[in-house]
Structure 1
Amino acid sequence: MHRLLRTVLLGLASLAGLVAHATPLINAAGRQALALNGRWHVIVDPYDNGYVNYRLQRFDASAKPNGGYFLDRKPATPAELIEYDFDTSASLNVPGDWNSQDDKLLYYESTVWYRRLFDFTPRSADARQFIHFGGANYEADVYLNGAKLGRHVGGFTPFEFEVTGKLRSAGNSLVVRVNNARRPEAVPTVNTDWWNYGGLTRDVMLLETPATCIRDFVLRLQPGAGRRVRGFVQLDGSAQPVKVEIPELKISVEAAADARGRANFEFELKGAQLWSPEQPRLYAVTLSSGADRLTEKVGFRTIETRGSDILLNGKPIFLRGISLHEENPLRGGRATTPADARQLLGWAQELGCNYVRLAHYPHNEHMARVADEMGILLWAEVPVYWTIHWDNPETYANAENQLTELVTRDRNRASIIIWSMANETPISPARTVFLKKLVAHTRALDPTRLISAAMERHSPPDDPRTSIVEDELAEVTDLVSFNQYIGWYVGMPDDCAQAKWIINYNKPVIISEFGADALQGFHGDRRARFTEEFQADLYRQTLAMLEKIPQLRGMTPWILCDFRSPRRHLPNIQDGWNRKGLIGENGTRKLAFAVLQEYYARKAAEYARP
């Protein structure tokens, strides 16, 4: 009866075109799965011809859709008119963006249809199946065998649809309409300073679970509670006992799930080594309930603030960081694999970093998992960027949903210590209400991490040398983080020596951005813009300036690597790239790399003293 009811509800959801499940299965990569990555046939559809008719009526909203490409039809007779054919269309790699795979699609922003055929045999009669997407930029409409499963909005967070009872043994047709058109009411909105990579940019998997499965879990040390771990396991299915085991620590605890399928846990973490950048200790944690069993690698640590200090496991730490886009500069496309994550985070470690800002959107799940292993602290954020529609309730709901999906996916990652709400948002009453709501929502989801946002500085009209950081949002964040570009967008590097700062908050200060463009290999006078010498001099003078801020406890200069940006047009210098990277698009380090590396070596020695 339970299975029949679930099937009926799934059918009703598909007919209504509902959105994906609000909480995708945690640790999709660790599940029994059929990988659906590889070559997918695609149709580039700039007029959305396969989605709407010439009167802009959606085919998938019709009882007789006929022309929709999601039907994946062939002519029944030579006389039948069908003006598309996936089988003879081009193909692209999944995961991957379409922009870097085909020169004709470099600037393309609209719809591309993806289709994958696959066979499937379930493990057992009562097994459940879910089609899981790691991410699709930006809107995704998903169809299985001609029927709509639902849609997802947001380019960087996971989503899934249950397909139990909908799969054939052979010839399943999975069709996804992906549209990356920028829209004023979207998150992010129409104006950004990064490339709008479209497509199925992360893994696609067909997951299989028992009838009752583990959907979500949280296990974490509580700040101020010693070695006490609290958390829960959320079941999807019938209520039954749940067990949590950490074999290496000889920990085994069991709890009953309540009527909602939630089992709460609390236990002492005896004999454990806490996770830190110096010793990124991870423990195999096994969760089991009935026939479902899931193993995760989890690190345990605390993060908190005391006055202007940041405390990791109770000890002060200076966050030696760098900002990072989810892009492989050597090939100029989205970073999609664990190897990409290791390359980028490895370069950050070479720089002397113990901390990275993942800008300006949720990065691939691989990034946080690799950071857990390598011992790199992370700032993770959502793309509430510049000029969001602050008064639009749908825009807020979109931002909150993306934040929920990010926090739910990554809140068991020891590496993530900061959730960021926004970047460079102009102060207004509506904006502050919007962001304070996000802060409150995030604290409810995860009260154990720090919350911040990349705010801005300003100067009095009659005193350009004085920089003031004053933002009502800073009253509810744990950190005072802000971007500043004295020496690049404001004045010249020599102006750093005369700068004065007014920051009236007894909180840790994090400089979330500073930097200057430099074309790798372009040399000249230190006062000549776009030379490596100019960038290196700006770093020297900026670091000396920032050291005068008494609450300074970290920074993430902008940025580790050059990255593509359609805003950057200067011929023979930018050519569609933001050149603020310390590493060029060819992987070569610029002069400023060594400047920051030397500074971080000094800070590491300073904070290593007893």
Structure 2
Amino acid sequence: MTSLNLMKVLTAAALLWLGTFSSQPLQAQPALLQNAPGRSVLSLNGSWNYIIDPYENGFYDYRREAFDQSKSGKGGYYDNAKPSSKQEEELIEYDFDKSQAMQIPGDWNSQRPELLYYEGTIWYKKSFALAPKPGKRYFLYFGAINYEAHIYLNGKKLGMHKGGFTPIQYDITEQLSASGDNFVVVKADNTRRPEEVPTINTDWWNYGGITRDVFIAETPATYISDYKVQLAKGDANTVAGYVQLAGEGRANQAVTLNIGEAGLKQTVKTDGEGRATFSVPAKKLARWSPQSPRLYAVSLTSSSDVVQDRIGFRLIETRGQDILLNGRSLYMRGISIHDENPLIPGRARGEGDLRMLLTWAKELGCNYVRLAHYPHNETMLKLADEMGLLVWAEVPVYWTIAWENPATYQNAEQQLTDLISMGKNRASVVVWSVGNETPLGEPRLKFMSSLAKKARALDDTRLISAALELHRTPDNVVHVDDPLGEFLDLTSFNEYAGWYWGGKPGEITKYTFDIKYNKPVMVSEFGGDALAGYHGDANTRWSEEYQEALYVNQLKMLSTIPGLRGMTPWILADFRATRRQHPVYQNGFNRKGLISSTGQRKKAFYVLQEYYRQMAQKYDGK
């Protein structure tokens, strides 16, 4: 069967089956509190005691039955049990308070040498003082825990969460101790499994633990739980959106939207479910862009609650092969980024690490970053708003997923839902990506196209994309006709000519591209490894000169694509990857970074920097 006929068959199958997955019931997940870090919060960051538990003794009894599923619900480490007398007559084979501690947020791999490669369960415990106040509600919030997390407060289970990069939240108002003495216990398990998202095989380090901020947010009893304030789809002169109240008094309540700097104000009333929509003329509102990242102070006020945010307003759309930002043609000068500071072992720990990465991207000449291959920290999105960087945000539907497992799809859809919830008010976010380098096939097409449909249903004001598959023919033509492209706004793909195929860097300009879709083309990855400080000629693999020549010829080759409207080469900085085992050139790092693991700019950095200077001159006039 020809590739064209195969594409027609797969596309027809997807159209026939579209929606099959979405008919499956989603597991109940607590709705995320919008802009939770912007609330009055009690930080739980800092020192947490931990217990390494590879046999999961703290979760299962000797019959492999879960303690928290037993009639008493007792017996697990989450009890944080203490002997009832000085004689210690009870048999308790653990003690958090006498166990070692590590810093949270922070992965365990980088904090203890013996845990560098550890995959399994670690228990965490944190005591804190908080006496609940009348008329207030309290939400325990984790920025991320990798991967499966069971969370307990004062010995009672709050819930279980899967997904290593999305926020976790529970209303703990009724579980808090009246005395103010409380403890939270987390079972974190980073074991890779074939049915999870991502699946067993990835190309980044499997950092375990509580990797992002932990805090308790306080709200009134009736509170603003969610909102969206953005320009209406296709309308640069109207701010539209909604506000959602939660709590017993949520119905028939007045809520006022106020953007004082722009002279915009509107009061709406909630319906019986606490929801209200608004639409406000905004002809004089300044548009957000990388050249002018204008943010406005926005407030939403009800009779009992006030929330404040800083929001930018812009339109992003496509027309034929053009990407239009606020109606103007745009070239997206990008780079891919992992959530990792290469200079310090482990996951990025906070705003300083994140700001450094985005500052490097700005130095490179970028107006755009791809936050690969999973949801990044909410702080990263706010910094991109502030610094004027467009964002591609992605869920870890990566390589080969269990396409025919309904639970796997529901997991992926929930992670997508949480990502969009977290980022929907950020002007910087212009692309929702539903996956990366997933192989052709009918089950995959159904899975991925259903995710694309879900993303549009959740947010129709941004572009939908994914890193598509491609194939080559003996006539040196690279074909991009992945049927998933029918469901997307951008034709995005990864290609590694000059590294994984195509010969040496000087030979790759012989390739041409046959791209089926009349849509903007975004090259979501290209590149090759170079060990900083290792030098040779342009044909010496692993040398800076090889990577430099690869970039020179990649840019020549890609510039022949008529619809090319941007790229995010792989990658800004070297990052740790267990798969990368060459003892001389890799040593546990993917070396495709333009910046080394010691902060050194490689020669290819300056090649891309100059190209982006030229593109900025062409499209932005500077």
Paired residue for 1:586? 598
Paired residue for 1:429? 442
Q: Counterparts of 1:186-335 in structure 2 under 5 Å?
A: 186-237=196-247, 238=249, 239=251, 240-335=253-348
Matched residues in 2 for 1:125 and 1:543: separation? Answer: 62
- Alpha-carbon distance, 1:340 to partner: 1.2
**What is the TM-score when the length of structure 1 is the normalising length?**
0.95
Q: Counterparts of 1:410-429 in structure 2 under 5 Å?
A: 410-429=423-442
Paired residue for 1:97? 107
Matched residues in 1 for 2:529 and 2:63: separation? Answer: 47
Q: Counterparts of 1:173-572 in structure 2 under 5 Å?
A: 173-237=183-247, 238=249, 239=251, 240-460=253-473, 462-463=474-475, 465-490=476-501, 491-572=503-584
Letter in 2 for 1:39: S
Matched residues in 2 for 1:58 and 1:84: separation? Answer: 17
**Deviates further, 341-350 or 498-507:** 498-507
Residues 336, 371 of structure 2: 8 Å contact kept: yes
Residues 440, 482 of structure 2: 8 Å contact kept: yes
Select 1:82's aligned residue among 88, 92, 98: 92
Q: Secondary structure at the match of 2:145?
A: coil
**What is the TM-score when the length of structure 2 is the normalising length?**
0.93
Letter in 2 for 1:189: T
Letter in 1 for 2:403: W
Residues 138, 178 of structure 1: 8 Å contact kept: yes
Q: Does 1:67 align with 2:68?
A: no
- Alpha-carbon distance, 1:21 to partner: 4.3
**Deviates further, 314-323 or 50-59:** 50-59
Matched residues in 2 for 1:606 and 1:270: separation? Answer: 28
Q: Does 1:23 align with 2:36?
A: no
Residues 99, 333 of structure 1: 8 Å contact kept: yes
Paired residue for 1:127? 136
Matched residues in 2 for 1:66 and 1:500: separation? Answer: 65
Q: Secondary structure at the match of 1:181?
A: coil
Matched residues in 2 for 1:189 and 1:27: separation? Answer: 29
Letter in 2 for 1:261: G
Q: Secondary structure at the match of 1:23?
A: coil
- Alpha-carbon distance, 1:293 to partner: 0.6
Cα distance per residue 1:380-400 (max 9 Å; x no partner): 000000010000000000000
Matched residues in 2 for 1:202 and 1:401: separation? Answer: 19
Letter in 1 for 2:131: T
Residues 20, 151 of structure 1: 8 Å contact kept: no
Matched residues in 1 for 2:312 and 2:621: separation? Answer: 25
Q: Secondary structure at the match of 1:510?
A: strand
Residues 21, 161 of structure 1: 8 Å contact kept: no
Matched residues in 1 for 2:73 and 2:268: separation? Answer: 49
Matched residues in 2 for 1:587 and 1:317: separation? Answer: 30
- Alpha-carbon distance, 1:271 to partner: 1.9
Matched residues in 2 for 1:435 and 1:547: separation? Answer: 29
Residues 256, 301 of structure 2: 8 Å contact kept: yes
Q: Secondary structure at the match of 2:457?
A: helix
Residues 46, 110 of structure 1: 8 Å contact kept: yes
Matched residues in 2 for 1:268 and 1:572: separation? Answer: 61
- Alpha-carbon distance, 1:63 to partner: 2.0
Paired residue for 2:20? none
Letter in 2 for 1:606: K
Percent of pairs with identical residues: 55
Letter in 1 for 2:129: D
- Alpha-carbon distance, 1:226 to partner: 3.2
Q: Secondary structure at the match of 2:49?
A: strand
Select 1:159's aligned residue among 164, 168, 172: 168
- Alpha-carbon distance, 1:39 to partner: 0.5
Paired residue for 1:6? none
Letter in 2 for 1:442: A
Cα distance per residue 1:75-96 (max 9 Å; x no partner): 2242211110000101111111
Letter in 2 for 1:134: G
- Alpha-carbon distance, 1:204 to partner: 0.8
Matched residues in 2 for 1:172 and 1:245: separation? Answer: 38
- Alpha-carbon distance, 1:19 to partner: 7.2
Q: Secondary structure at the match of 1:497?
A: helix
Q: Secondary structure at the match of 1:427?
A: coil
- Alpha-carbon distance, 1:183 to partner: 0.4
Matched residues in 1 for 2:585 and 2:411: separation? Answer: 37
Residues 299, 309 of structure 2: 8 Å contact kept: yes
Residues 135, 159 of structure 1: 8 Å contact kept: yes
Paired residue for 1:595? 607
- Alpha-carbon distance, 1:495 to partner: 2.2
- Alpha-carbon distance, 1:453 to partner: 0.2
Residues 236, 314 of structure 2: 8 Å contact kept: no
Cα distance per residue 1:287-322 (max 9 Å; x no partner): 111221110000000000000000000000100000
Residues 110, 180 of structure 1: 8 Å contact kept: yes
- Alpha-carbon distance, 1:500 to partner: 1.5
Letter in 2 for 1:316: S
Residues 19, 150 of structure 1: 8 Å contact kept: no
Matched residues in 1 for 2:282 and 2:167: separation? Answer: 31
Q: Secondary structure at the match of 1:109?
A: coil
Residues 232, 241 of structure 2: 8 Å contact kept: no
Matched residues in 1 for 2:532 and 2:139: separation? Answer: 46
- Alpha-carbon distance, 1:65 to partner: 4.0
Cα distance per residue 1:511-568 (max 9 Å; x no partner): 0000000001111111011000000000000000000000100000000000000000
Q: Does 1:35 align with 2:48?
A: no
- Alpha-carbon distance, 1:230 to partner: 1.1
Q: Unpaired segments of 5 or more residues in structure 2?
A: 1-25
Residues 334, 566 of structure 2: 8 Å contact kept: yes
Matched residues in 2 for 1:435 and 1:326: separation? Answer: 24
Q: Unpaired segments of 5 or more residues in structure 1?
A: 1-17
Paired residue for 1:14? none
- Alpha-carbon distance, 1:20 to partner: 7.2
Paired residue for 1:50? 58
Q: Secondary structure at the match of 1:151?
A: strand
Matched residues in 1 for 2:232 and 2:280: separation? Answer: 11
Cα distance per residue 1:30-79 (max 9 Å; x no partner): 10111111100000111111011122100110122443000001122422
Q: Secondary structure at the match of 1:83?
A: coil
Matched residues in 2 for 1:394 and 1:327: separation? Answer: 29
Matched residues in 1 for 2:345 and 2:468: separation? Answer: 29
Letter in 2 for 1:141: H
Letter in 2 for 1:327: E
- Alpha-carbon distance, 1:171 to partner: 2.3
Matched residues in 1 for 2:166 and 2:432: separation? Answer: 15
Aligned-residue RMSD, C-alpha? 1.2
Residues 274, 313 of structure 1: 8 Å contact kept: yes
Q: Structure 1 residue runs of 4+, over 3 Å off? A: 18-22
Matched residues in 1 for 2:361 and 2:328: separation? Answer: 23
